[in-house]
Structure 1
Amino acid sequence: MKIPANLAELPQLDTDYPLTEEQIASYQRNGHIYLKNILSAEEIGYYEPLIAGTVREHNYQTKPVGERDTYGKAFIQICNLWQMNEGVARYVLARRFAKIAAELMGVEGVRIYHDQALFKEAGGGHTPWHQDQVYWPLETPNTITLWMPLVNVSEEVGSMTFVDGSHTSGYMSRQFISDESHKTLASYIEGKGLSKTNYGAMNAGDATFHAGWTLHSAPGNPTDTMREVMTIIYVADGVNTMANPDSSARESDLKSWFPGVKAGEPAVSPLNPLVYKR
Protein backbone atom coordinates (compact mmCIF):
# COMPACT_ATOMS: atom_id res chain seq x y z
CA MET A 1 0.00 0.00 0.00
CA LYS A 2 1.26 3.44 -0.89
CA ILE A 3 0.49 6.58 1.04
CA PRO A 4 1.17 9.49 -1.35
CA ALA A 5 3.07 12.46 -0.05
CA ASN A 6 0.92 14.79 -2.14
CA LEU A 7 -1.97 14.81 -4.61
CA ALA A 8 0.38 14.98 -7.59
CA GLU A 9 1.40 11.38 -6.92
CA LEU A 10 -2.14 10.04 -7.18
CA PRO A 11 -3.24 8.35 -10.42
CA GLN A 12 -5.69 10.54 -12.33
CA LEU A 13 -8.27 7.80 -13.15
CA ASP A 14 -9.36 9.68 -16.27
CA THR A 15 -8.57 7.03 -18.90
CA ASP A 16 -11.43 5.08 -20.47
CA TYR A 17 -12.60 1.62 -19.43
CA PRO A 18 -14.09 0.28 -22.67
CA LEU A 19 -17.47 -1.43 -22.54
CA THR A 20 -18.90 -3.75 -25.17
CA GLU A 21 -22.41 -3.47 -26.56
CA GLU A 22 -23.08 -6.88 -25.00
CA GLN A 23 -22.11 -5.62 -21.53
CA ILE A 24 -24.34 -2.55 -21.85
CA ALA A 25 -27.25 -4.69 -23.03
CA SER A 26 -26.70 -7.15 -20.17
CA TYR A 27 -26.79 -4.36 -17.60
CA GLN A 28 -29.94 -2.83 -19.07
CA ARG A 29 -31.63 -6.25 -19.14
CA ASN A 30 -30.61 -7.47 -15.68
CA GLY A 31 -30.11 -4.25 -13.71
CA HIS A 32 -26.61 -5.27 -12.61
CA ILE A 33 -23.21 -6.21 -14.01
CA TYR A 34 -19.75 -7.29 -12.79
CA LEU A 35 -16.73 -5.61 -14.39
CA LYS A 36 -13.16 -6.72 -13.71
CA ASN A 37 -10.02 -4.67 -13.25
CA ILE A 38 -11.57 -1.22 -13.34
CA LEU A 39 -8.65 -0.19 -11.15
CA SER A 40 -5.22 -1.74 -11.38
CA ALA A 41 -3.43 -3.15 -8.34
CA GLU A 42 -1.15 -0.10 -8.42
CA GLU A 43 -4.09 2.32 -8.46
CA ILE A 44 -5.81 0.48 -5.60
CA GLY A 45 -2.53 0.63 -3.73
CA TYR A 46 -2.69 4.42 -3.77
CA TYR A 47 -6.39 4.89 -3.00
CA GLU A 48 -7.17 2.15 -0.45
CA PRO A 49 -5.07 3.73 2.35
CA LEU A 50 -6.70 7.12 1.78
CA ILE A 51 -10.23 5.74 1.87
CA ALA A 52 -9.63 3.36 4.78
CA GLY A 53 -7.91 6.09 6.76
CA THR A 54 -10.80 8.49 6.19
CA VAL A 55 -13.26 5.82 7.34
CA ARG A 56 -11.28 5.23 10.53
CA GLU A 57 -11.08 8.97 11.18
CA HIS A 58 -14.84 9.46 10.86
CA ASN A 59 -16.14 6.20 12.33
CA TYR A 60 -17.88 7.05 15.58
CA GLN A 61 -19.44 3.60 16.11
CA THR A 62 -18.47 2.42 19.61
CA LYS A 63 -20.87 -0.46 20.26
CA PRO A 64 -19.59 -4.01 19.70
CA VAL A 65 -21.09 -5.65 16.61
CA GLY A 66 -23.21 -8.01 18.72
CA GLU A 67 -24.96 -5.13 20.50
CA ARG A 68 -26.18 -3.31 17.36
CA ASP A 69 -29.41 -3.60 15.42
CA THR A 70 -29.52 -5.39 12.06
CA TYR A 71 -28.59 -2.27 10.08
CA GLY A 72 -25.74 -1.44 12.46
CA LYS A 73 -24.35 -4.97 12.23
CA ALA A 74 -24.30 -4.85 8.44
CA PHE A 75 -21.47 -2.34 8.01
CA ILE A 76 -19.68 0.81 9.05
CA GLN A 77 -21.22 3.46 6.79
CA ILE A 78 -19.54 6.80 6.12
CA CYS A 79 -20.98 9.10 3.45
CA ASN A 80 -19.51 11.78 1.19
CA LEU A 81 -15.88 10.97 1.86
CA TRP A 82 -15.07 13.11 -1.17
CA GLN A 83 -15.71 16.16 0.96
CA MET A 84 -13.47 14.91 3.77
CA ASN A 85 -10.25 14.18 1.87
CA GLU A 86 -8.87 15.67 -1.36
CA GLY A 87 -7.32 12.39 -2.39
CA VAL A 88 -10.57 10.50 -1.93
CA ALA A 89 -12.30 13.23 -3.95
CA ARG A 90 -10.09 12.36 -6.91
CA TYR A 91 -11.34 8.76 -6.64
CA VAL A 92 -15.03 9.62 -6.21
CA LEU A 93 -15.09 12.22 -8.99
CA ALA A 94 -13.11 10.01 -11.38
CA ARG A 95 -14.08 10.31 -15.03
CA ARG A 96 -13.35 6.61 -15.61
CA PHE A 97 -16.10 5.48 -13.22
CA ALA A 98 -18.58 8.15 -14.28
CA LYS A 99 -18.26 7.31 -17.98
CA ILE A 100 -19.00 3.66 -17.25
CA ALA A 101 -22.08 4.69 -15.25
CA ALA A 102 -23.36 6.92 -18.07
CA GLU A 103 -22.77 4.33 -20.78
CA LEU A 104 -24.45 1.53 -18.84
CA MET A 105 -27.55 3.67 -18.31
CA GLY A 106 -27.44 5.04 -21.86
CA VAL A 107 -27.46 8.70 -20.80
CA GLU A 108 -25.44 11.73 -21.89
CA GLY A 109 -23.99 12.62 -18.49
CA VAL A 110 -24.04 11.83 -14.79
CA ARG A 111 -23.83 13.70 -11.51
CA ILE A 112 -22.79 12.45 -8.11
CA TYR A 113 -25.69 11.67 -5.79
CA HIS A 114 -23.36 10.76 -2.95
CA ASP A 115 -20.64 8.27 -2.09
CA GLN A 116 -20.48 5.94 0.86
CA ALA A 117 -17.93 3.58 2.34
CA LEU A 118 -19.51 0.30 3.44
CA PHE A 119 -16.97 -1.53 5.58
CA LYS A 120 -18.32 -4.85 6.86
CA GLU A 121 -16.43 -5.76 10.01
CA ALA A 122 -15.19 -9.21 10.98
CA GLY A 123 -18.27 -10.99 12.24
CA GLY A 124 -20.52 -8.35 10.68
CA GLY A 125 -24.09 -9.27 9.84
CA HIS A 126 -25.87 -9.70 6.53
CA THR A 127 -27.36 -6.81 4.57
CA PRO A 128 -31.10 -7.55 4.18
CA TRP A 129 -32.92 -7.53 0.87
CA HIS A 130 -33.73 -3.99 -0.20
CA GLN A 131 -33.97 -1.50 -3.05
CA ASP A 132 -31.75 1.56 -2.72
CA GLN A 133 -34.13 3.93 -4.44
CA VAL A 134 -36.73 3.53 -1.71
CA TYR A 135 -34.55 6.11 0.06
CA TRP A 136 -33.87 8.45 -2.85
CA PRO A 137 -36.02 11.53 -3.71
CA LEU A 138 -35.45 11.11 -7.43
CA GLU A 139 -38.03 11.03 -10.19
CA THR A 140 -36.01 8.91 -12.61
CA PRO A 141 -35.05 5.27 -13.14
CA ASN A 142 -31.61 6.44 -14.27
CA THR A 143 -29.63 5.93 -11.08
CA ILE A 144 -26.73 3.54 -10.65
CA THR A 145 -24.31 2.48 -7.92
CA LEU A 146 -20.68 1.46 -8.31
CA TRP A 147 -19.75 -1.10 -5.59
CA MET A 148 -15.98 -1.66 -5.45
CA PRO A 149 -14.01 -3.77 -2.96
CA LEU A 150 -10.74 -2.13 -1.95
CA VAL A 151 -9.35 -5.47 -0.76
CA ASN A 152 -9.73 -8.96 -2.22
CA VAL A 153 -13.06 -10.46 -1.17
CA SER A 154 -13.26 -14.22 -0.71
CA GLU A 155 -16.05 -16.51 -1.90
CA GLU A 156 -17.53 -16.80 1.60
CA VAL A 157 -18.00 -13.03 1.80
CA GLY A 158 -18.49 -12.51 -1.90
CA SER A 159 -20.36 -9.92 -3.89
CA MET A 160 -23.92 -8.86 -3.35
CA THR A 161 -26.77 -11.03 -4.63
CA PHE A 162 -29.02 -9.37 -7.21
CA VAL A 163 -32.52 -10.26 -8.39
CA ASP A 164 -32.29 -10.27 -12.17
CA GLY A 165 -34.52 -7.74 -13.92
CA SER A 166 -36.01 -6.39 -10.69
CA HIS A 167 -35.06 -2.82 -11.65
CA THR A 168 -38.03 -2.74 -14.03
CA SER A 169 -40.58 -3.26 -11.25
CA GLY A 170 -40.24 0.05 -9.37
CA TYR A 171 -41.30 -0.15 -5.74
CA MET A 172 -41.44 -3.78 -4.62
CA SER A 173 -41.72 -2.88 -0.94
CA ARG A 174 -41.67 0.45 0.88
CA GLN A 175 -40.02 -1.13 3.91
CA PHE A 176 -36.62 0.19 4.86
CA ILE A 177 -33.64 -2.13 5.43
CA SER A 178 -34.56 -4.37 8.35
CA ASP A 179 -35.27 -7.95 9.39
CA GLU A 180 -38.86 -7.34 8.29
CA SER A 181 -37.85 -6.18 4.82
CA HIS A 182 -35.64 -9.21 4.45
CA LYS A 183 -38.44 -11.63 5.32
CA THR A 184 -41.02 -9.86 3.16
CA LEU A 185 -38.81 -9.61 0.10
CA ALA A 186 -37.29 -13.09 0.50
CA SER A 187 -40.83 -14.52 0.51
CA TYR A 188 -41.67 -12.47 -2.57
CA ILE A 189 -38.56 -13.68 -4.43
CA GLU A 190 -39.23 -17.30 -3.53
CA GLY A 191 -42.94 -17.09 -4.26
CA LYS A 192 -42.37 -15.59 -7.70
CA GLY A 193 -39.44 -17.90 -8.47
CA LEU A 194 -37.28 -14.92 -9.42
CA SER A 195 -33.76 -15.61 -10.70
CA LYS A 196 -30.79 -14.33 -8.69
CA THR A 197 -27.12 -13.70 -9.44
CA ASN A 198 -24.16 -13.67 -7.08
CA TYR A 199 -20.75 -12.99 -8.59
CA GLY A 200 -18.78 -14.68 -5.80
CA ALA A 201 -15.22 -13.72 -4.97
CA MET A 202 -13.98 -10.36 -6.24
CA ASN A 203 -10.56 -8.79 -6.46
CA ALA A 204 -9.72 -5.31 -5.24
CA GLY A 205 -10.43 -2.92 -8.10
CA ASP A 206 -13.20 -5.05 -9.62
CA ALA A 207 -16.72 -3.63 -9.29
CA THR A 208 -20.37 -4.32 -9.68
CA PHE A 209 -22.83 -1.73 -10.92
CA HIS A 210 -26.53 -1.94 -10.11
CA ALA A 211 -29.61 0.18 -10.76
CA GLY A 212 -31.36 2.04 -7.98
CA TRP A 213 -34.42 -0.21 -8.17
CA THR A 214 -32.47 -3.48 -8.39
CA LEU A 215 -33.34 -5.72 -5.46
CA HIS A 216 -30.21 -6.95 -3.69
CA SER A 217 -28.71 -8.25 -0.45
CA ALA A 218 -25.28 -9.18 0.88
CA PRO A 219 -24.05 -11.96 3.17
CA GLY A 220 -22.41 -11.44 6.53
CA ASN A 221 -18.67 -11.51 7.07
CA PRO A 222 -17.63 -14.74 8.81
CA THR A 223 -13.91 -13.99 8.29
CA ASP A 224 -11.56 -12.22 10.68
CA THR A 225 -10.80 -9.37 8.26
CA MET A 226 -12.63 -6.20 7.25
CA ARG A 227 -14.55 -6.23 3.95
CA GLU A 228 -13.64 -2.78 2.66
CA VAL A 229 -16.03 -1.55 -0.03
CA MET A 230 -16.42 1.90 -1.54
CA THR A 231 -19.59 2.89 -3.38
CA ILE A 232 -20.46 5.84 -5.60
CA ILE A 233 -24.06 6.61 -6.53
CA TYR A 234 -24.74 8.46 -9.78
CA VAL A 235 -27.87 10.07 -11.18
CA ALA A 236 -28.38 11.03 -14.81
CA ASP A 237 -27.80 14.69 -15.51
CA GLY A 238 -30.91 16.75 -16.23
CA VAL A 239 -33.50 15.09 -13.98
CA ASN A 240 -35.71 16.58 -11.28
CA THR A 241 -36.09 15.63 -7.67
CA MET A 242 -39.35 14.09 -6.51
CA ALA A 243 -42.15 16.65 -6.57
CA ASN A 244 -43.37 15.44 -3.19
CA PRO A 245 -40.98 13.18 -1.24
CA ASP A 246 -43.28 10.47 0.08
CA SER A 247 -41.38 9.34 3.17
CA SER A 248 -39.28 10.77 5.98
CA ALA A 249 -36.22 9.03 4.51
CA ARG A 250 -36.67 10.73 1.15
CA GLU A 251 -37.25 14.08 2.82
CA SER A 252 -34.04 13.56 4.78
CA ASP A 253 -32.09 12.62 1.64
CA LEU A 254 -33.42 15.68 -0.17
CA LYS A 255 -32.09 17.92 2.60
CA SER A 256 -28.81 16.04 3.00
CA TRP A 257 -27.74 15.44 -0.60
CA PHE A 258 -29.47 18.31 -2.43
CA PRO A 259 -29.03 21.17 0.04
CA GLY A 260 -31.07 24.22 -0.90
CA VAL A 261 -32.95 22.39 -3.65
CA LYS A 262 -36.73 22.43 -3.39
CA ALA A 263 -39.00 19.62 -4.48
CA GLY A 264 -39.57 19.80 -8.22
CA GLU A 265 -36.39 21.73 -9.00
CA PRO A 266 -33.46 20.26 -10.97
CA ALA A 267 -31.36 17.76 -9.01
CA VAL A 268 -28.33 20.01 -8.86
CA SER A 269 -26.47 21.45 -5.87
CA PRO A 270 -22.82 21.96 -4.91
CA LEU A 271 -22.90 18.36 -3.61
CA ASN A 272 -23.90 16.99 -7.03
CA PRO A 273 -21.13 17.91 -9.46
CA LEU A 274 -21.34 16.87 -13.11
CA VAL A 275 -18.59 14.24 -13.40
CA TYR A 276 -19.08 13.11 -16.98
CA LYS A 277 -20.74 14.55 -20.11
CA ARG A 278 -20.51 12.90 -23.51
Structure 2
Amino acid sequence: MSMKETSHNQALPSLEDSYTLSEQQIESYQQKGHIVLRQVASSSEIASYEPIITDLVKELNYHNKPIEQRDTYGKAFIQISNLWEKSEAARRFVLAKRFAKIAAELMGVEGVRIYHDQALYKEPHGGHTPWHQDQIYWPLDTDKTITMWMPLVPISEEVGSMTFASESHRIGYINKMVISDESHRTLAGYIEGKGYEKMSHGAMEAGDATFHAGWTLHSAPGNPTDSMRKVMTVIYYADGLRIAEPDSKARESDLKAWFPGAQPGDLAATAINPLVYSRSVRS
Protein backbone atom coordinates (compact mmCIF):
# COMPACT_ATOMS: atom_id res chain seq x y z
CA MET A 1 0.00 0.00 0.00
CA SER A 2 1.43 3.40 -0.95
CA MET A 3 1.91 6.20 1.61
CA LYS A 4 -0.68 8.21 -0.30
CA GLU A 5 -3.23 5.41 -0.01
CA THR A 6 -2.39 4.89 3.67
CA SER A 7 -3.00 8.57 4.51
CA HIS A 8 -6.17 8.53 2.39
CA ASN A 9 -7.50 5.51 4.33
CA GLN A 10 -6.65 7.12 7.66
CA ALA A 11 -8.86 10.04 6.67
CA LEU A 12 -11.86 7.79 5.94
CA PRO A 13 -14.79 7.95 8.37
CA SER A 14 -14.77 4.96 10.74
CA LEU A 15 -18.49 3.88 10.66
CA GLU A 16 -18.04 2.26 14.09
CA ASP A 17 -20.59 4.26 16.11
CA SER A 18 -24.14 3.03 16.65
CA TYR A 19 -27.33 3.78 14.74
CA THR A 20 -30.27 3.70 17.15
CA LEU A 21 -33.20 1.49 16.26
CA SER A 22 -36.60 1.73 17.94
CA GLU A 23 -38.55 -1.30 19.16
CA GLN A 24 -41.21 -0.43 16.56
CA GLN A 25 -38.63 -0.62 13.75
CA ILE A 26 -37.42 -4.02 14.92
CA GLU A 27 -41.00 -5.31 15.22
CA SER A 28 -41.90 -3.94 11.79
CA TYR A 29 -38.89 -5.65 10.19
CA GLN A 30 -39.68 -8.97 11.86
CA GLN A 31 -43.32 -8.75 10.80
CA LYS A 32 -42.83 -7.63 7.17
CA GLY A 33 -39.38 -9.04 6.36
CA HIS A 34 -38.04 -5.67 5.19
CA ILE A 35 -37.52 -2.10 6.37
CA VAL A 36 -36.05 1.19 5.17
CA LEU A 37 -33.74 3.13 7.52
CA ARG A 38 -32.79 6.68 6.65
CA GLN A 39 -29.22 7.99 6.76
CA VAL A 40 -27.58 4.85 8.03
CA ALA A 41 -24.50 6.53 6.55
CA SER A 42 -24.27 10.32 6.27
CA SER A 43 -23.80 12.18 2.99
CA SER A 44 -20.22 13.06 3.95
CA GLU A 45 -19.43 9.41 4.80
CA ILE A 46 -20.83 8.25 1.45
CA ALA A 47 -18.88 11.02 -0.34
CA SER A 48 -15.67 9.47 1.08
CA TYR A 49 -16.45 5.86 0.16
CA GLU A 50 -18.48 6.03 -3.07
CA PRO A 51 -15.60 7.03 -5.45
CA ILE A 52 -13.41 4.22 -4.08
CA ILE A 53 -16.14 1.59 -4.46
CA THR A 54 -17.04 2.89 -7.94
CA ASP A 55 -13.39 2.72 -9.07
CA LEU A 56 -13.22 -0.91 -7.90
CA VAL A 57 -16.44 -1.76 -9.78
CA LYS A 58 -15.07 -0.18 -12.97
CA GLU A 59 -11.79 -2.05 -12.58
CA LEU A 60 -13.46 -5.43 -11.93
CA ASN A 61 -16.44 -5.16 -14.32
CA TYR A 62 -16.60 -8.37 -16.37
CA HIS A 63 -19.32 -7.35 -18.87
CA ASN A 64 -17.97 -7.02 -22.41
CA LYS A 65 -21.27 -7.04 -24.34
CA PRO A 66 -23.71 -4.17 -24.77
CA ILE A 67 -26.79 -4.44 -22.51
CA GLU A 68 -29.13 -5.47 -25.34
CA GLN A 69 -27.00 -8.56 -26.08
CA ARG A 70 -27.06 -9.91 -22.50
CA ASP A 71 -29.54 -12.26 -20.81
CA THR A 72 -32.04 -10.99 -18.22
CA TYR A 73 -29.59 -11.46 -15.34
CA GLY A 74 -26.80 -9.68 -17.23
CA LYS A 75 -29.09 -6.77 -18.12
CA ALA A 76 -30.07 -6.32 -14.47
CA PHE A 77 -26.74 -5.10 -13.07
CA ILE A 78 -22.98 -5.15 -12.88
CA GLN A 79 -22.40 -7.43 -9.90
CA ILE A 80 -19.01 -7.50 -8.15
CA SER A 81 -18.57 -9.51 -4.93
CA ASN A 82 -16.28 -9.32 -1.91
CA LEU A 83 -14.93 -5.86 -2.50
CA TRP A 84 -13.85 -5.98 1.15
CA GLU A 85 -10.99 -8.31 0.21
CA LYS A 86 -9.78 -6.02 -2.57
CA SER A 87 -9.18 -2.70 -0.82
CA GLU A 88 -8.68 -1.42 2.71
CA ALA A 89 -11.29 1.30 2.15
CA ALA A 90 -13.92 -1.18 0.92
CA ARG A 91 -13.06 -3.36 3.91
CA ARG A 92 -13.80 -0.52 6.32
CA PHE A 93 -17.17 0.06 4.67
CA VAL A 94 -18.29 -3.56 4.38
CA LEU A 95 -17.11 -4.65 7.84
CA ALA A 96 -18.50 -1.52 9.53
CA LYS A 97 -19.76 -2.27 13.03
CA ARG A 98 -22.59 0.26 12.63
CA PHE A 99 -24.19 -1.71 9.77
CA ALA A 100 -23.57 -5.11 11.38
CA LYS A 101 -25.14 -4.06 14.69
CA ILE A 102 -28.31 -2.99 12.87
CA ALA A 103 -28.41 -6.41 11.14
CA ALA A 104 -28.02 -8.24 14.48
CA GLU A 105 -30.66 -6.14 16.24
CA LEU A 106 -33.21 -6.47 13.44
CA MET A 107 -32.82 -10.27 13.48
CA GLY A 108 -32.70 -10.41 17.28
CA VAL A 109 -29.39 -12.29 17.42
CA GLU A 110 -26.25 -12.00 19.54
CA GLY A 111 -23.78 -11.50 16.70
CA VAL A 112 -23.41 -11.59 12.91
CA ARG A 113 -20.88 -12.74 10.33
CA ILE A 114 -20.46 -11.62 6.74
CA TYR A 115 -21.62 -14.02 4.05
CA HIS A 116 -20.36 -11.74 1.29
CA ASP A 117 -20.78 -8.24 -0.08
CA GLN A 118 -21.93 -7.25 -3.57
CA ALA A 119 -21.76 -4.01 -5.50
CA LEU A 120 -24.93 -3.97 -7.65
CA TYR A 121 -24.59 -1.20 -10.23
CA LYS A 122 -27.59 -0.95 -12.54
CA GLU A 123 -26.39 0.69 -15.75
CA PRO A 124 -28.26 3.45 -17.60
CA HIS A 125 -31.23 1.72 -19.28
CA GLY A 126 -30.39 -1.51 -17.45
CA GLY A 127 -33.16 -4.09 -17.09
CA HIS A 128 -35.37 -5.04 -14.18
CA THR A 129 -34.33 -7.55 -11.50
CA PRO A 130 -36.85 -10.43 -11.53
CA TRP A 131 -38.70 -11.62 -8.41
CA HIS A 132 -36.53 -13.97 -6.33
CA GLN A 133 -35.50 -15.12 -2.87
CA ASP A 134 -31.81 -14.50 -2.12
CA GLN A 135 -31.43 -17.49 0.14
CA ILE A 136 -32.05 -20.13 -2.54
CA TYR A 137 -28.35 -19.53 -3.34
CA TRP A 138 -27.05 -19.89 0.22
CA PRO A 139 -26.32 -23.26 1.91
CA LEU A 140 -27.89 -22.13 5.20
CA ASP A 141 -31.12 -23.55 6.66
CA THR A 142 -32.14 -20.66 8.88
CA ASP A 143 -34.33 -17.59 9.00
CA LYS A 144 -31.46 -15.58 10.50
CA THR A 145 -30.04 -13.99 7.34
CA ILE A 146 -30.37 -10.38 6.21
CA THR A 147 -29.14 -8.14 3.40
CA MET A 148 -28.34 -4.44 3.67
CA TRP A 149 -28.98 -2.63 0.35
CA MET A 150 -27.49 0.88 0.40
CA PRO A 151 -27.50 3.34 -2.51
CA LEU A 152 -24.29 5.35 -2.89
CA VAL A 153 -26.10 7.95 -5.03
CA PRO A 154 -29.62 9.38 -4.66
CA ILE A 155 -32.26 7.09 -6.19
CA SER A 156 -35.16 8.98 -7.69
CA GLU A 157 -38.77 7.78 -7.73
CA GLU A 158 -38.23 7.17 -11.46
CA VAL A 159 -35.44 4.65 -10.83
CA GLY A 160 -36.98 3.32 -7.62
CA SER A 161 -35.65 1.03 -4.92
CA MET A 162 -36.60 -2.62 -4.51
CA THR A 163 -40.17 -3.91 -4.22
CA PHE A 164 -40.80 -6.44 -1.46
CA ALA A 165 -43.61 -8.93 -0.92
CA SER A 166 -44.34 -8.19 2.75
CA GLU A 167 -44.47 -11.22 5.07
CA SER A 168 -43.28 -13.62 2.34
CA HIS A 169 -40.22 -14.45 4.49
CA ARG A 170 -42.51 -16.37 6.86
CA ILE A 171 -42.99 -19.13 4.25
CA GLY A 172 -39.25 -19.89 4.01
CA TYR A 173 -38.00 -21.78 0.94
CA ILE A 174 -40.63 -21.37 -1.83
CA ASN A 175 -38.77 -22.94 -4.78
CA LYS A 176 -35.27 -23.31 -6.21
CA MET A 177 -35.67 -20.91 -9.16
CA VAL A 178 -32.61 -18.80 -9.81
CA ILE A 179 -33.09 -15.18 -10.97
CA SER A 180 -34.65 -15.43 -14.43
CA ASP A 181 -37.68 -14.55 -16.57
CA GLU A 182 -39.20 -17.80 -15.35
CA SER A 183 -38.72 -16.89 -11.66
CA HIS A 184 -40.32 -13.51 -12.34
CA ARG A 185 -43.45 -15.01 -13.90
CA THR A 186 -43.85 -17.87 -11.45
CA LEU A 187 -43.21 -15.86 -8.30
CA ALA A 188 -45.37 -12.92 -9.46
CA GLY A 189 -48.22 -15.44 -9.76
CA TYR A 190 -47.37 -16.86 -6.34
CA ILE A 191 -47.45 -13.39 -4.73
CA GLU A 192 -50.79 -12.66 -6.41
CA GLY A 193 -52.24 -15.97 -5.26
CA LYS A 194 -51.12 -15.46 -1.65
CA GLY A 195 -52.33 -11.84 -1.62
CA TYR A 196 -49.05 -10.47 -0.29
CA GLU A 197 -48.74 -6.68 -0.11
CA LYS A 198 -46.16 -5.47 -2.64
CA MET A 199 -44.25 -2.57 -1.13
CA SER A 200 -41.47 -0.31 -2.38
CA HIS A 201 -39.70 2.24 -0.21
CA GLY A 202 -39.53 4.53 -3.25
CA ALA A 203 -36.91 7.23 -3.63
CA MET A 204 -33.84 6.96 -1.41
CA GLU A 205 -30.98 9.26 -0.55
CA ALA A 206 -27.37 8.10 -0.68
CA GLY A 207 -26.69 6.44 2.69
CA ASP A 208 -30.31 5.39 3.30
CA ALA A 209 -30.61 1.59 3.43
CA THR A 210 -33.15 -1.17 3.17
CA PHE A 211 -32.69 -4.39 5.09
CA HIS A 212 -34.51 -7.54 4.02
CA ALA A 213 -34.61 -11.15 5.18
CA GLY A 214 -33.01 -13.87 3.05
CA TRP A 215 -36.42 -15.43 2.34
CA THR A 216 -38.25 -12.16 1.53
CA LEU A 217 -39.41 -12.12 -2.09
CA HIS A 218 -38.24 -8.99 -3.88
CA SER A 219 -37.66 -7.47 -7.30
CA ALA A 220 -36.33 -4.17 -8.64
CA PRO A 221 -37.36 -1.99 -11.58
CA GLY A 222 -35.10 -1.22 -14.53
CA ASN A 223 -33.14 2.00 -14.77
CA PRO A 224 -34.80 4.33 -17.32
CA THR A 225 -32.30 7.16 -16.70
CA ASP A 226 -28.88 8.05 -18.14
CA SER A 227 -27.20 7.69 -14.73
CA MET A 228 -25.70 4.63 -13.06
CA ARG A 229 -27.73 3.32 -10.07
CA LYS A 230 -24.89 2.59 -7.63
CA VAL A 231 -25.78 0.28 -4.75
CA MET A 232 -23.64 -1.56 -2.23
CA THR A 233 -25.02 -4.61 -0.44
CA VAL A 234 -23.77 -6.66 2.50
CA ILE A 235 -25.23 -10.04 3.48
CA TYR A 236 -25.11 -11.06 7.15
CA TYR A 237 -26.08 -14.23 9.01
CA ALA A 238 -26.28 -15.09 12.70
CA ASP A 239 -23.03 -16.22 14.29
CA GLY A 240 -22.99 -19.89 15.34
CA LEU A 241 -24.87 -21.38 12.34
CA ARG A 242 -23.83 -24.59 10.62
CA ILE A 243 -23.55 -25.12 6.86
CA ALA A 244 -26.47 -27.02 5.32
CA GLU A 245 -26.18 -29.85 2.80
CA PRO A 246 -26.49 -28.09 -0.60
CA ASP A 247 -29.69 -29.21 -2.36
CA SER A 248 -29.08 -27.41 -5.67
CA LYS A 249 -26.28 -26.48 -8.07
CA ALA A 250 -26.59 -22.84 -6.94
CA ARG A 251 -25.99 -23.80 -3.31
CA GLU A 252 -23.11 -26.15 -4.20
CA SER A 253 -21.47 -23.32 -6.08
CA ASP A 254 -22.02 -20.87 -3.19
CA LEU A 255 -20.63 -23.36 -0.67
CA LYS A 256 -17.34 -23.49 -2.62
CA ALA A 257 -17.20 -19.72 -3.17
CA TRP A 258 -18.26 -18.34 0.22
CA PHE A 259 -17.36 -21.10 2.71
CA PRO A 260 -14.08 -22.22 1.11
CA GLY A 261 -12.69 -25.48 2.45
CA ALA A 262 -15.74 -26.09 4.67
CA GLN A 263 -18.17 -29.03 4.53
CA PRO A 264 -21.88 -29.38 5.31
CA GLY A 265 -22.29 -29.64 9.09
CA ASP A 266 -19.25 -27.43 9.78
CA LEU A 267 -19.65 -24.11 11.53
CA ALA A 268 -20.34 -21.38 8.96
CA ALA A 269 -17.20 -19.49 9.89
CA THR A 270 -14.29 -19.47 7.44
CA ALA A 271 -11.57 -16.82 7.08
CA ILE A 272 -13.80 -14.89 4.64
CA ASN A 273 -16.81 -14.85 7.03
CA PRO A 274 -15.52 -12.55 9.77
CA LEU A 275 -17.54 -11.92 12.92
CA VAL A 276 -18.35 -8.24 12.43
CA TYR A 277 -20.50 -7.60 15.46
CA SER A 278 -21.14 -9.38 18.76
CA ARG A 279 -23.15 -7.92 21.62
CA SER A 280 -20.89 -9.66 24.14
CA VAL A 281 -17.62 -8.33 22.67
CA ARG A 282 -16.85 -4.80 23.77
CA SER A 283 -14.68 -2.79 21.37
Q: So what's the TM-score if we normalise by structure 1?
A: 0.97
The corresponding residue for 1:114 is 116
Deviations 1:137-174 (A, max 9, x none): 01211000000000000001111000000111011221
Matches within 5 A, 1:107-186: 107-186=109-188
The corresponding residue for 1:270 is 271
Kept after mapping to 2: 8 A contact 1:146/1:208: yes
The corresponding residue for 1:207 is 209
Moved over 4 A (4+): none
Task: Provide the rounded CA distance (Å) in 2 between the counterparts of 1:70 and 1:213.
Answer: 21
| RMSD across aligned positions (CA) | 1.0
Kept after mapping to 1: 8 A contact 2:176/2:248: no
Amino acid at match of 2:206: A
Asked if 1:68 corresponds to 2:70, the answer is yes
Task: Provide the rounded CA distance (Å) in 1 between the counterparts of 2:188 and 2:24.
Answer: 30
Task: Provide the rounded CA distance (Å) in 2 between the counterparts of 1:122 and 1:8.
Answer: 33
Task: Give 3-state SS (helix, strand or coil) of 2:53's partner.
Answer: helix
Kept after mapping to 2: 8 A contact 1:4/1:46: no
Kept after mapping to 1: 8 A contact 2:40/2:208: yes
Task: Give 3-state SS (helix, strand or coil) of 2:219's partner.
Answer: strand
Deviations 1:48-74 (A, max 9, x none): 011001100100211000000000000
Asked if 1:38 corresponds to 2:22, the answer is no
Asked if 1:100 corresponds to 2:96, the answer is no
Kept after mapping to 2: 8 A contact 1:160/1:217: yes
Gaps of 5+ in 1: none
Gaps of 5+ in 2: none
Deviations 1:216-273 (A, max 9, x none): 000000000000000000010000010x200111011111001111111000100000
What is the identity percentage for the equivalent residue pairs of Structure 1 and Structure 2?
65
Q: How many residues align?
A: 275
Task: Give 3-state SS (helix, strand or coil) of 1:117's partner.
Answer: strand
Task: Provide the rounded CA distance (Å) in 1 between the counterparts of 2:136 and 2:17.
Answer: 33
1:5 deviates by: 4.8
Amino acid at match of 1:52: T
The corresponding residue for 1:237 is 239
